[in-house]
């Protein structure tokens, strides 16, 4: 079957056999999926690709879109077009390698981080609303391309266009969505929607007929410039298929990353419908430029390689002399699909069976013109009922104030005196009237994000520092994690399923878990760098005035990139959901804390696992260093391991020590991950040697609560009654006591960089815990418990929270670091 626009003959197939296969794929697609409305068909595909829960269908839908694109017809696109992203795909930097093994995409690329993040933030908000294609003079093309001969040879006033994108505010934006246009406006040099043809936008000629056609497209800002003209597809798999090509990469268009990598390609597939593929370069691209904040008058430093078209590049001359290549290999790949739709078909585009999420809203252009003011808006669904254990609470944002028990829980601190004499203010005064402790933390977190956006220094975290120093360290009681609140735990359960641990089977005992959230992150390496610089200059007594200028807080101001990336993308991608605890046996604890020189003989299977999991290389390196007697002093627990391992000669006295130590101070810990990790299951099993499916009976406990978990991994040892390793938490000999999470001992294993981590925790309210994310920054100093912790240059990398089920319901309602809708 063929249509006016769709035919397998539109694709230059490599062989008659592949041409026949493509024709059959198009026939199957049109006969099984198409029901007479192409807008509705594409909307079905878009909804599947915008739903992370349907990712198992994504490869098949991408294949169908590829078929449509291959069979689509070349056509010039002119004037304004309504647009919607259909899918976004990660670049596959290992594509060439895996294709040798008959695979389309590598495991890393198949995780689709970008699609996952996009779907959770902007996919159906209408942030991007389309493009327009305007006439452009030959002189402008010459200027924008640096007089590129190939571009000027192809210039034709009938087919060459300069274009710009449309953007609008998302409806009822959350914190991340509200940052969309404010961030894009300066980055992409966006300008307000033009009101007349007299306005000159980006060297284009705004025609009156195009301005009139724009009325059906609701947008407020425009920019993101490209040059468009007929061409051959740059994606190798497209075999030079004829397309209408949109190039953002020319440096004189001033593209911001990632547009420095972007080439769009369009084909027509139906009346008023153009299917586009996003194409990104994976080689020879610019990352933009860097301007030193301390030297604003200096020229910007270019990062990466500026785009030069298809010219020979001087640095590649020798290579090309021998290889015969005449063009630059930019490593172009398909990175997803989008639609361009003629606004003359606006009613069909905005129909309920198509893309109602793009429909103009009250006050926007097109709302009155298309008659939406005469239709009744859909009603919002009623809010979900209250959890059984809190009958009557339907509003988890503020409704807790009407429940006496919840009000007490959400406003009462658990505190002790800070070890620092300078902490004289009452941290309870941080909470405002009518505000829960969690809402207080959310407000403080937003303040810190704003303060550190351009100045990532720990002084801006002072309120969290003081609160942490006044928090109370949780305990281990009879082998169980125990807080200081009314219950002191979130749940208590024993497993039913036996599982093996190094040759002995047993069930989980004393299982408990807490939900996790990140407040703010900080690049701790900068603190070590400052300290190292200061020590270096002080020791040498060189240029004290210069040093003071360099280290002055008002001179060194770096943006808090780590925090910004987490809140804009990271929290929507990384599936960390909290931590779980259970009892640990003396046998298992003795293995995990063992730093003996003969670990490979004591625990051969465990060491073999360390060796075969490449991500655990730092832990395996500790085993090897120990075998060569790298450390002169014995480890902290060496005296109770000299008689041998638990299974190979350990004395009864030492076994009794380990049983008591496990019972009094330690718990077996796991980080828990939510359902988002399932898409990366194969990769996680390769990376994390401790990654596993939870026992069904324990997983069922989480599924009865507000935020279920799906996997466990990144194991650690939790220990109570420890002195904080960060000097900022103590005052000379007056040390802050904390609960610590240990990831560093060699037999624990785990993927880099978790082996450099040693977190600390305190409780600040009933079931609410404040944690410090701490990493060693002296990465070249191998870990051993005999080494002074100062040698590892531990630094604070941010704050996180652990919460029981009740706090988690409140957190989700107020949208503190949540990824769900």
pLDDT mean across residues, the chain = 88
Query: How does residue 546 score in pLDDT terms, banded at 50, 70 and 90?
Result: very low
Query: How much is the average pLDDT of 263-271?
Result: 97
pLDDT at 324 over 60: no
Between CA 185 and CA 219 the distance in angstroms is: 13
**Percentage of the chain surpassing pLDDT 70?**
90
Q: Which residues contact 427 (CB under 8 A, 6 or more apart)?
A: 413, 415, 463, 466, 467, 470
Residue 360 DSSP class: P
Query: How does residue 631 score in pLDDT terms, banded at 50, 70 and 90?
Result: very high
Is 343 in contact with 217 (CB distance < 8 Å)? yes
Is 582 in contact with 667 (CB distance < 8 Å)? yes
Is 296 in contact with 290 (CB distance < 8 Å)? no
Strand ranges, E, within 433-575:
475-477, 480-482, 499-501, 504-506, 512-521
Lowest-confidence region among 86-100, 181-195, 294-308: 294-308
Which candidate, 237, 266, 235, 336, places its Cα nearest to that of 22?
A: 237
| Burial class of residue 145 in the structure, from the number of CB atoms within 10 Å of its CB (0-12 exposed, 13-18 middle, 19+ buried) | buried
Is 444 in contact with 458 (CB distance < 8 Å)? no
Query: How does residue 542 score in pLDDT terms, banded at 50, 70 and 90?
Result: very low
When computed from its CA atoms, the radius of gyration of the chain, rounded to whole angstroms, is 30
Query: How does residue 112 score in pLDDT terms, banded at 50, 70 and 90?
Result: confident
Is 86 in contact with 65 (CB distance < 8 Å)? yes
Report in angstroms the alpha-carbon separations of 618 from 611, 615, 754.
10, 8, 10
Each residue of 277-309: pLDDT tens digit?
999 999 998 887 665 555 556 666 778 888 988
Q: Which residues contact 283 (CB under 8 A, 6 or more apart)?
A: 329, 330, 331
Is 435 in contact with 443 (CB distance < 8 Å)? yes
Query: How much is the average pLDDT of 27-32?
Result: 93
Beta bridge partners of 705: none
**Percentage of the chain surpassing pLDDT 90?**
69
Each residue of 478-529: pLDDT tens digit?
999 999 999 999 999 999 999 998 989 999 999 999 999 999 999 998 888 8
Residue 769 DSSP class: E
CA 802 to chain centre: 20
Three-state secondary-structure class, residue 482: strand
Between CA 214 and CA 219 the distance in angstroms is: 9
Q: HSE-up of 489 (CA within 13 Å, CB side)?
A: 17
Query: How does residue 821 score in pLDDT terms, banded at 50, 70 and 90?
Result: low
Report in angstroms the alpha-carbon separations of 360 from 39, 190, 372, 581, 797.
17, 21, 8, 50, 43
Lowest-confidence region among 286-300, 321-335, 588-602: 286-300
pLDDT at 113 over 80: no
Q: What is the pLDDT of residue 730?
A: 95
Q: What is the pLDDT of residue 323?
A: 42
Four-residue CA torsion sign, 61, 67, 71, 73: positive
Instruction: Pick 325 or 578 by higher pLDDT.
Output: 578
Beta bridge partners of 10: none
Q: What is the pLDDT of residue 389?
A: 59
Report in angstroms the alpha-carbon separations of 609 from 33, 183, 395, 743, 748.
48, 45, 49, 16, 11
Each residue of 33-88: pLDDT tens digit?
998 999 999 999 999 999 887 888 999 999 999 999 999 999 999 999 999 999 99
Buried b (16+ CB within 10 A) or exposed e, 528-538: eeeeeeeeebe
Is 507 in contact with 585 (CB distance < 8 Å)? no
Three-state secondary-structure class, residue 760: strand
Between CA 524 and CA 452 the distance in angstroms is: 13
Each residue of 717-762: pLDDT tens digit?
999 999 999 999 999 889 999 999 999 999 999 998 999 999 999 9
Query: How much is the average pLDDT of 270-277?
Result: 97
pLDDT at 29 over 60: yes
Number of residues assigned to the chain: 821
Query: Where does residue 325 fall: left (phi above 0), alpha (psi -120 to 50 degrees), or beta otherwise?
Result: beta
- The model's pTM is 0.63
CA dihedral (292, 293, 298, 304) in degrees, to 10, reads: 30
Each residue of 371-418: pLDDT tens digit?
998 874 443 333 333 345 576 788 899 999 988 899 999 999 999 999
Each residue of 413-464: pLDDT tens digit?
999 999 999 999 999 999 999 999 999 999 999 999 999 988 889 999 999 9
Query: How much is the average pLDDT of 553-582?
Result: 81
Q: What is the largest CA-CA distance in the chain?
A: 92
Pick the most confident of 401-405, 634-638, 672-676: 634-638
Q: What is the pLDDT of residue 35?
A: 87
Instruction: Pick 122 or 167 by higher pLDDT.
Output: 167
- Give kind and range of the element (H or E) at residue 84: strand 79-88
Query: How does residue 321 score in pLDDT terms, banded at 50, 70 and 90?
Result: very low
Is 287 in contact with 304 (CB distance < 8 Å)? yes
Any idea which residue has 């330690």 for tokens? 666
pLDDT at 806 over 60: yes
Structure tokens that stand for 799 in this block: 């704050």
């Amino acid at each position: 079957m063929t249509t006016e626009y769709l035919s397998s003959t539109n694709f230059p197939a490599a062989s008659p056999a592949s041409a026949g296969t493509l024709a059959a794929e198009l026939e199957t697609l049109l006969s099984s999926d198409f029901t007479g409305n192409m807008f509705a068909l594409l909307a079905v595909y878009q909804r599947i690709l915008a739903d992370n829960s349907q990712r198992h269908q994504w490869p098949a839908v991408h294949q169908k879109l590829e078929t449509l694109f291959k069979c689509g017809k070349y056509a010039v696109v002119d004037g304004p077009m309504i647009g919607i992203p259909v899918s976004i795909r990660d670049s596959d930097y290992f594509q060439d390698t895996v294709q040798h093994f008959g695979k389309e995409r590598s495991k890393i690329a198949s995780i689709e981080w970008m699609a996952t993040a996009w779907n959770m933030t902007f996919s159906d908000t209408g942030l991007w609303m389309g493009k327009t294609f305007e006439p452009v003079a030959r002189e402008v093309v010459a200027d924008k391309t640096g007089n590129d001969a190939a571009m000027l040879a192809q210039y034709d006033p009938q087919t060459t266009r300069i274009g710009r994108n449309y953007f609008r505010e998302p409806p009822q934006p959350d914190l991340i969505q509200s940052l969309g246009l404010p961030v894009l406006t300066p980055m992409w040099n966006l300008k307000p929607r033009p009101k007349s043809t007299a306005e000159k936008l980006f060297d284009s000629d705004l025609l009156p007929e195009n301005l009139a056609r724009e009325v059906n497209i609701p947008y407020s800002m425009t920019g993101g410039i490209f040059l468009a003209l007929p061409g051959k597809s740059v994606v190798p798999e497209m075999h030079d298929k004829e397309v209408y090509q949109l190039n953002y990469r020319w440096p004189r268009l001033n593209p911001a990353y990632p547009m420095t990598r972007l080439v769009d390609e369009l084909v027509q597939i139906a009346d008023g419908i153009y299917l586009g593929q996003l194409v990104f370069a994976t080689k020879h691209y610019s990352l933009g430029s860097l301007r030193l904040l301390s030297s604003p008058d200096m020229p910007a430093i270019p990062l990466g390689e500026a785009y030069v078209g298809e010219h020979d590049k001087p640095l590649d001359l020798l290579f090309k002399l021998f290889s015969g290549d005449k063009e630059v290999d930019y490593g172009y790949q398909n990175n997803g699909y989008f639609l361009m739709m003629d606004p003359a078909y606006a009613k069909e585009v905005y129909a309920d069976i198509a893309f109602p999420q793009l429909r103009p809203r009250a006050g926007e252009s097109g709302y009155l013109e298309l008659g939406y003011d005469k239709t009744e808006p859909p009603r919002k669904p009623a809010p979900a009922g209250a959890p059984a254990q809190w009958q009557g609470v339907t509003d988890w944002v503020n409704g807790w104030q009407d429940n006496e028990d919840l009000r007490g829980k959400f406003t009462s601190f658990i505190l002790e005196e800070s070890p620092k004499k300078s902490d004289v203010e009452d941290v309870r005064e941080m909470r405002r009237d009518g505000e829960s402790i969690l809402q207080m933390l959310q407000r403080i977190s937003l303040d810190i994000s704003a303060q550190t956006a351009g100045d990532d220094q720990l002084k801006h975290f002072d309120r969290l520092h003081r609160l942490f120093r006044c928090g109370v360290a949780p305990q281990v009681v009879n082998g169980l994690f125990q807080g200081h609140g009314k219950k002191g735990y979130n749940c208590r359960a024993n497993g039913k399923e036996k599982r093996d641990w190094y040759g002995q089977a047993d069930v989980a005992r004393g299982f408990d878990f807490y939900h996790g959230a990140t407040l703010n992150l900080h690049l701790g390496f900068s603190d070590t760098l400052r300290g190292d610089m200061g020590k270096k200059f002080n020791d040498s007594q060189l240029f004290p005035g210069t040093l003071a200028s360099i280290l002055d807080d008002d001179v060194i101001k770096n943006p808090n990139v780590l925090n910004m990336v987490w809140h804009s993308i990271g929290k929507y991608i990384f599936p960390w959901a909290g931590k779980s605890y259970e009892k640990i046996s003396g046998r298992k604890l003795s293995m995990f804390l063992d730093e003996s020189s003969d670990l490979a003989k004591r625990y051969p299977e465990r060491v073999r696992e360390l060796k075969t999991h490449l991500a655990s290389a730092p832990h395996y390196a500790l085993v090897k260093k120990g075998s060569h007697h790298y450390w002169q002093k014995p480890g902290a627990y060496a005296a109770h391991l000299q008689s041998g391992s638990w299974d190979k000669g350990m004395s009864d006295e030492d076994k009794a020590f380990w049983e008591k130590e496990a019972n009094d101070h330690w718990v077996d810990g796991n980080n828990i991950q939510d359902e988002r990790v399932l898409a990366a299951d194969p990769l996680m099993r390769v990376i994390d040697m401790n990654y596993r499916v939870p026992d069904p009976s324990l997983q069922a406990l989480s599924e009865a609560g507000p935020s279920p978990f799906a996997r466990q991994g990144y194991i650690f040892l939790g220990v109570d009654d420890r002195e904080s390793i960060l000097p900022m938490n103590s005052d000379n000999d007056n040390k802050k006591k904390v609960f610590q999470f240990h990831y560093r001992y060699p037999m624990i294993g785990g993927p880099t960089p978790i082996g450099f981590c040693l977190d600390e925790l305190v409780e600040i309210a009933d079931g609410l815990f404040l944690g410090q994310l701490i990493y060693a920054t002296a990465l070249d100093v191998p870990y051993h418990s005999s080494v002074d912790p100062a040698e590892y240059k531990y630094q604070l990398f941010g704050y996180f929270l652990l919460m029981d089920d009740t706090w988690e319901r409140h957190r989700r309602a107020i949208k503190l670091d949540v990824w769900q809708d």
